[in-house]
Structure 1
């Protein structure tokens, strides 16, 4: 098996984590695989070679763009705070367009999708970017179908991911295509990832949503909801726990949390269901009941609407396989 050549385009002001997140996934994969011929050959190229200063001051050593000639397995383009100026670099944009033609896969993180679109690579395709810039992407490139709430979008051999850390999720999906789900689950566990996220998941974290409230009555109501996910709960019940009228509670809750109490309850139930599917062997109907879905059909419908995957498929893809013995002990990279 030939090593997969990964060429990462860097430029002055690019986002360090857009680069280092995917790199750490690939480097760790190399170490776990233990076979240099089955892993990834990572190369950095840049118009700012030999030393590229990212927007946070991290410096990356890179080769000139000309070093990126020849067949490429995966081309990766990051975003960055300097993206507006970078889009004006016609030489870089043209190079990306040409390199894409030599690549088996073309990928981007965050604002890197703007560079792919500027190079004419995303016309007629689905794509995403950081949630703060999806409207700008759609307005600037109307021939691109922008999926504003996906963490990464796979269209043909083009894969675009949302903001910053989602480059890790996208790269795990690339590794899964190359080495299978079992290896990738062990890789995610080795990277100490709390969840493996698939592309259709929302860019807005339901776990972070649980931490948004500023006032103690609303925080207390959120904690009560999480402690009672297995029970039918109404807005009036939650409001009573917060010592507020139902109408005032709903208004304040939406203002502080950014969604209605009902929407919040459902998000927490889906998040809890994901955890149970990943960490237990409970029958799916029992998972549904523990998460407050006493009609399994409702659970299947709501879970599928939220994650675009069935509970059974989710468990198959994401459940921990601790102790499977599928992988060798990590060995030093070569």
Structure 2
């Protein structure tokens, strides 16, 4: 093989970041010495320019109708135009045709809706942007949509979550093709973290904070995130808030979408994940700093949440500048 042919399918109102994350990461792999270079081409119906959802226009290199296999990888991106694309019989026909001629097929974000409409996800597990998962699942009952993971691989088909998760997907493809060292070099080139595990949750308690308007809930959330090693039982938190445990639970369910206990557990896991990726602290120390008590308790929590133990998470995500264990090492504070 002299080149890995990669076709990225765009269409009107496709998401620019979906396209850019894929194409830039693959070209970076070429710059960083991929043993078999990626030949990346953007294709669209009629070879017409793609006007992205942001209003910017991209020139394409291929007419979708004229692309032929064999291909290494076929990638369908998402965007606000995905519904129209999923209803276009011509686009779906060419997606099906090229999928048969591709070693693997992938989608980014709502591009999964196009693969599903083409019948390529029937009976498979798939993911997409969390905001669209329920709607795509309702439209495509033969597909097992899971809104949780960053990306899901089922056979030779890989679907990813929304927007910048395209970067996680592409780094994973590079690692699969060329090994982890090249993937790490690409991540460093792009000034991003090494890819997250595919089963890492899309939504984080640190990015999905409750509305600031509810002062009591925000105060308790800040207390949890500020010191995950503290006594954070529901009883203790309720006492700090000056309300009953039952009332605090009702407030958390209303404003955060989970009970105080579940929120605390997620916050502790994410704090531990941050320390594992950014420091070289022993797992037992990370466990203590994040409120798990023992390394085994932390391991069980990681396996339950991510499907992998802390050691594997660290090996995949550790920063090259991770500091050594010392009294000055970062705490788990968010």
Q: Would you say same fold, with TM above 0.5? A: yes
Aligned to 1:60: 58
Contact in 2 for aligned 1:11/1:46 (Cα 8 Å)? yes
User: For each residue in 1:257-289, what CA deviation from the matched residue of structure 2 results, as whole angstroms up to 9, or x when unmatched?
Assistant: 222211111111111111121122222222211
Q: By how many angstroms is 1:61 displaced?
A: 0.8
Aligned to 2:45: 47
Q: By how many angstroms is 1:301 displaced?
A: 1.5
* 1:121 maps to 2:128: no
Contact in 1 for aligned 2:45/2:65 (Cα 8 Å)? no
Q: By how many angstroms is 1:85 displaced?
A: 2.2
Contact in 2 for aligned 1:12/1:48 (Cα 8 Å)? no
Q: How far apart are the structure 1 equivalents of 2:19 and 2:80?
A: 14
Change (3 A) 1:139 1:224: closer
Q: How far apart are the structure 1 equivalents of 2:209 and 2:192?
A: 19
Q: By how many angstroms is 1:80 displaced?
A: 2.2
Q: By how many angstroms is 1:293 displaced?
A: 0.8
Q: How far apart are the structure 2 equivalents of 1:223 and 1:182?
A: 38
Q: By how many angstroms is 1:212 displaced?
A: 4.4
Q: How far apart are the structure 2 equivalents of 1:218 and 1:43?
A: 49
Structure 2 residue runs without a partner (length 5+)? 323-334
* 1:7 maps to 2:7: yes
Aligned to 1:73: 72
Q: By how many angstroms is 1:67 displaced?
A: 4.0
Q: How far apart are the structure 2 equivalents of 1:241 and 1:311?
A: 32
Change (3 A) 1:231 1:114: same
Q: By how many angstroms is 1:304 displaced?
A: 0.9
Change (3 A) 1:194 1:174: closer
Q: How far apart are the structure 1 equivalents of 2:278 and 2:87?
A: 48
Contact in 1 for aligned 2:46/2:65 (Cα 8 Å)? no
Contact in 2 for aligned 1:212/1:256 (Cα 8 Å)? yes
> RCO higher in 1 or 2 (8 Å CA, sep ≥ 6)?
1
User: For each residue in 1:108-130, what CA deviation from the matched residue of structure 2 results, as whole angstroms up to 9, or x when unmatched?
Assistant: 01121122122222222221222
TM, length-normalised to structure 2:
0.88
Aligned to 2:171: 172
Aligned to 1:226: 225
* 1:28 maps to 2:51: no
Q: By how many angstroms is 1:76 displaced?
A: 0.6
User: For each residue in 1:218-265, what CA deviation from the matched residue of structure 2 results, as whole angstroms up to 9, or x when unmatched?
Assistant: 222222212221233222322333344433333223322222211111
Q: By how many angstroms is 1:297 displaced?
A: 3.0
Structure 1 residue runs without a partner (length 5+)? 324-334
Q: By how many angstroms is 1:194 displaced?
A: 5.0
Q: How far apart are the structure 2 equivalents of 1:185 and 1:177?
A: 12
Q: By how many angstroms is 1:94 displaced?
A: 0.8
Contact in 2 for aligned 1:213/1:256 (Cα 8 Å)? no
Aligned to 2:237: 238
Aligned to 2:253: 254
Q: Which runs of 4+ in 1 moved over 6 A?
A: none
Q: By how many angstroms is 1:48 displaced?
A: 4.5
Aligned to 1:82: 81
SS of structure 2 residue aligned to 1:13: coil
SS of structure 2 residue aligned to 1:264: helix
Q: How far apart are the structure 2 equivalents of 1:144 and 1:312?
A: 33
SS of structure 2 residue aligned to 1:8: strand
